[in-house]
Homo-oligomer: A and B are copies of this chain.
Amino acid sequence: MANDHFLEDLTPGLTWTSGSLTVEADAIKSFAADYDRQPFHLDEAAAEATFFRGLAASGWQVAALSMRLLTEGEIPFAWGIVGAGGEITWPRPTRPGDRLTVHTEVLEVTRSKSRPDRGIVTVRNETRNQDGEAVQVLVAKLVVPSREKRPAA
């Protein structure tokens, strides 16, 4: 992906894979203490009696850790990963000891009509656990510059 830095270099179907990291129970509790103080993220015993039936990572921790994996890799966009927004789902919980990897696919590349020096690249980032199951799916719209910086024909 080294030279795929501009809108013109990105095409639907391109894929890449991040490194991996393991989510430990202590990290789940620590993130929750800072940002998401709910029993199913804070304490194993209390979590048993909840919807999650056991300790689970905050969805926002999964999102933040997925971003860490993406930014630790080689970033194939000239301006970096600049997200305008996206759709996020958590199909299943992230549990203590889960090892996460992000699989990215370019879905769509659209040059801006009003600002032809840039465009929107839609990517699907699927965060999978060690069993290959999706724990998060983020379809994100990224702002990516054009190499040519000219209006489209």
- Residues of chain A having any CB pair with chain B under 8 Å: 31, 34-40, 50-52, 58-61, 63-65, 67-68, 71-72, 75, 79-90, 143
Task: Determine which of B31, B36, B79, B143 lies in contact with A71 in the assembled complex, contact meaning CB atoms within 8 Å.
Answer: B36
Task: State the majority secondary structure of interface residues on A.
Answer: mixed
Q: Is the CB of A67 within 8 A of B35?
A: yes
Chain B residues in 8 Å Cβ range of A86: 87-89
The answer for the CA separation of A51 and B63 in the assembled complex, in Å, is 22
Known contacts A35-B65, A60-B64, A64-B36; A90 and B84 CB within 8 A of each other: yes
Known contacts A60-B60, A60-B63, A143-B51; A84 and B79 CB within 8 A of each other: no
Task: Determine which of B63, B72, B87 lies in contact with A63 in the assembled complex, contact meaning CB atoms within 8 Å.
Answer: B63
Q: Is the CB of B71 within 8 A of A37?
A: yes
Q: Is the CB of B38 within 8 A of A51?
A: no
Find the residue from A50, A61, A88 having the highest chain B CB count within 10 A.
Answer: A88
